[in-house]
Amino acid sequence: METIYRLPFLRICLFLIAGILFGLLCPTIHFPWWLPFPFALPLLGCLLIPNRLQYKLRWLPGTVLFLLLFVAGATRTQETAPTFWEADEEETPYVIGEIEGAPQKKKSTYGASLLLFGQGIPEGTRVMAYIAQDSASEQLRDGDILIFPTRLTKKEGEPSEYDKHLRQKGYSGSFHIPEGRWRTVGHEERQSLRGKAGKARRWAEEKYQANGLQGEELAIASALTLGDKSMLDKELKRSYSATGASHVLAVSGLHVGIIYLVIIALLQQLFRGNRFKPIRVILALTGLWSYAFVAGLSASVVRASVMFSLVSIGEMMRRKSPSLNIVFASAFLMLLYEPRYLNDVGFQLSYAAVFAILLLHERIYKSLKISNFILDKAWSLTSVSIAAQLGTMPIMLYHFHQFSNCFWLSGLIVIPAATLLIYGCSLLLMATSFPVISNVIGSLLSGLIKGMNSSIRWLEGLPHSNVSGIAFGGIDVLLLYALLGSLLAVVQEQSFRRISILLSILLTYSCHLLVIKVVGQI
């Protein structure tokens, strides 16, 4: 296990996260945008400390760096604060909104993110609109400008749980627009990178559909390879969640890693030798970000692409930085760009899974020696699932209050299937100029997805496949992670101090559970 001294970005990330949490929990305390800059000067001054005083003042650079990153995190959090608007029919009888991104088809509506503007509406206000399906709404596209009555918005009572969830994502809320209660008043042609990426994703989905992927098969292929989960119905989502396989439906480090490894393997065959290493890295990054572009440049894809880009650049510079340090570096860059990713469940699960796999997978895999090749590969996949499940378990319990007892079985199914689907969908898109070949690939992919879905539903139907309704709060998350961390430390080195810490945390957690149970019965 890599020591903390070889993970400078761990400390840097923790300093930044401390500032972000301050900005989120204390939004009324405002910092001016220029405040981080005065702390940068003392940090540069630390480089001028004489050699004879460096040991004595060794605490000074770390303290100044902590203050700089803390203030930077709090300032960035306040700068990126979303704008909220409470609809007032008297002040603004009609709302004008511009569609951002392609509308997503639901069961009976089209979901669209709208940027609102007009008198009495703060700049930057966004809402989620659900427009009834009809011949007119089918024609809606990115950049269309709509007008509709304000009274359609939800104004009475407390916001729903879904609206609270939307507020965490920066939306003022959601509302439904019935058929005939809106009209298009213009169109703004988008030239942004995200707008072009959205068009590329729609092109890929059209190719999937043209080659035989329909219904659930199209929804799974789009979710797994392009990050578009809008076509997944609630029943299918529930099945994957109940069996601990929902992570495969969100494009993340697993999917981008598969693409990256394939690209690297091909380039190593074409360009052999160290002298071609820069060419391999440039082509690998080009392929990696091309996939991210086709996947719509979603946050999870960008996170994973940044991570593997840092790995490639480090290899080109012949600097083998520890894997965990690279992960922390990518997290630092993502949080510095958008501090509110820290609130995003996908961000939390993605990094928790990566950390757990890097820390635990090898130890779990080596704990059992299997001579049979096929069984050994099955155990390798199972150990990946176990490691990822241990890392994400506290977050899953906190957000979803359920735990899958068959996650290790679902991992044996979905991870190999996901790998084959990513390869197959890539081949399908490359073979679109040859309809006969692409149709055959589409038929094979459709059969593979049907088989995967049937297996997941069968696992869901097993007795006691999952436990739901688990009460789990923020303190539980902290204590469970502390327990897992101390257990890992004891496995690494069985010292009296580490065992004492483990037993102390276990006792604290037991007392916490006992108090919660007693309070709940009163």
Indicate if the pLDDT at residue 520 is higher than 60: no
How is residue 125 annotated by DSSP? Answer: B
- Angle at CA of residue 240, ends 236 and 246, nearest 5°: 120
Structure confidence at residue 138 as a pLDDT band (50, 70, 90) = confident
Which tops the pLDDT comparison, 403 or 119?
Answer: 403
The burial of 209, by beta-carbon neighbours within 10 Å (0-12 exposed, 13-18 middle, 19 or more buried), is given as: middle
7: left (phi over 0), alpha (psi -120 to 50) or beta: beta
CB 244 within 8 A of CB 387: no
Indicate if the pLDDT at residue 169 is higher than 50: yes
CB 73 within 8 A of CB 339: yes
Span 337-371, pLDDT tens digits: 888 888 887 788 878 888 888 888 888 888 888 88
What is the rounded CA–CA span in Å between residue 408 and residue 412? 7
The two tokens of residue 138 are: 């089918």
CB atoms within 10 A of CB 21: 16
Q: Which residues pair with 125 in a beta bridge?
A: 83
What is the rounded CA–CA span in Å between residue 310 and residue 308? 5
Q: According to the model, what pLDDT value does residue 237 have?
A: 83
Indicate if the pLDDT at residue 522 is higher than 70: no
Q: Once rounded to an integer, what is the mean pLDDT over residues 480-504?
A: 87
Q: Max Cα separation, the chain?
A: 78
Indicate if the pLDDT at residue 475 is higher than 70: yes
Span 196-248, pLDDT tens digits: 777 788 888 888 888 888 888 888 888 888 877 777 777 888 888 888 777 77
Span 306-325, pLDDT tens digits: 888 887 777 666 665 567 88
Give me the residue spans of the domains in the chain: 4-79, 94-190, 203-363+417-458, 474-521
Question: Which helix (H) or strand (E) covers residue 110, if one does?
Answer: strand 109-117
Q: According to the model, what pLDDT value does residue 157 have?
A: 46
Indicate if the pLDDT at residue 92 is higher than 50: yes
Indicate if the pLDDT at residue 49 is higher than 60: yes
> What CATH number was assigned to the domain covering residues 94-190?
2.40.50
| End-to-end Cα spacing for the chain | 45
3-state secondary structure of 466: strand
The two tokens of residue 96 are: 């004008």
Question: For 325, what's the count of Cα atoms within 13 Å in the CB-facing half-sphere?
Answer: 15
Beta strands in 150-258 (DSSP E): 174-177, 183-187
Indicate if the pLDDT at residue 141 is higher than 50: yes
Indicate if the pLDDT at residue 462 is higher than 80: yes
3-state secondary structure of 119: coil
Q: Mean pLDDT over all residues of the chain?
A: 80
Query: Which range, of 53-57, 256-260, 277-281, 415-419, averages the lowest pLDDT?
Result: 53-57
Structure confidence at residue 154 as a pLDDT band (50, 70, 90) = low
Q: According to the model, what pLDDT value does residue 355 have?
A: 84
Structure confidence at residue 518 as a pLDDT band (50, 70, 90) = low
Q: According to the model, what pLDDT value does residue 448 have?
A: 92
Span 383-411, pLDDT tens digits: 877 888 888 888 888 888 888 888 778 87
